[in-house]
Amino acid sequence: MRFPATMADLLRGGYVFLQTKPCTDCRALVYWFRTPTRREGPFVKTPRDRFVSHFALCPAARIRHADATCPGQGELFPSDVVSSFAPRA
Ligand SMILES: [Zn+2]
């Protein structure tokens, strides 16, 4: 799976769409998916209709999860994605 991914890519890759919900920290609209490893992951849509992990974008979540990164999800956090979609100050 490569990110940013389309909805079709996610479904084909074994992700299951669960629900949309505003992020409690930054209020972005978050799309929750169950990942192939049976975790629940928050994603946000980019302007090009692709999905990236909200953990990579949400300032609050990034801080909260900084010490709890899972090696298996490293591909969700490519540095180029983080830098190109970082919120503008
Ligand atoms: Zn957020």
Span 57-81, pLDDT tens digits: 888 765 665 656 555 555 555 555 4
Does residue 36 lie within any of the structural domains?
yes
- Give me the helices (H) in the chain, please: 7-12, 59-64, 79-84
Q: In the numeric block, which tokens belong to residue 8?
A: 């079709």
User: How far, in Å, is the centroid of ligand 1 from the Cα of 5?
Assistant: 19
Number of domains present in the structure of the chain: 1
Does residue 70 lie within any of the structural domains?
no
Q: In the numeric block, which tokens belong to residue 18?
A: 């669960």
Question: Please, is 48 exposed, middle or buried when counting C-beta atoms within 10 Å of its C-beta (0-12, 13-18, 19+)?
Answer: exposed
Please state, in angstroms and rounded to a whole number, the distance separating the CA atoms of residues 48 and 23: 20
Span 17-32, pLDDT tens digits: 999 999 988 999 999 9
Does residue 76 lie within any of the structural domains?
no
Task: Match 């991914």 to its residue by tokens.
Answer: 5
Range of the domain at 39: 1-58
Q: Look at the pTM and tell me if it is higher than 0.85.
A: no
User: How far, in Å, is the centroid of ligand 1 from the Cα of 85?
Assistant: 13
Write out the residues surrounding ion ligand 1, Cβ under 5 A: 23, 25-26, 58
User: How far, in Å, is the centroid of ligand 1 from the Cα of 52?
Assistant: 12
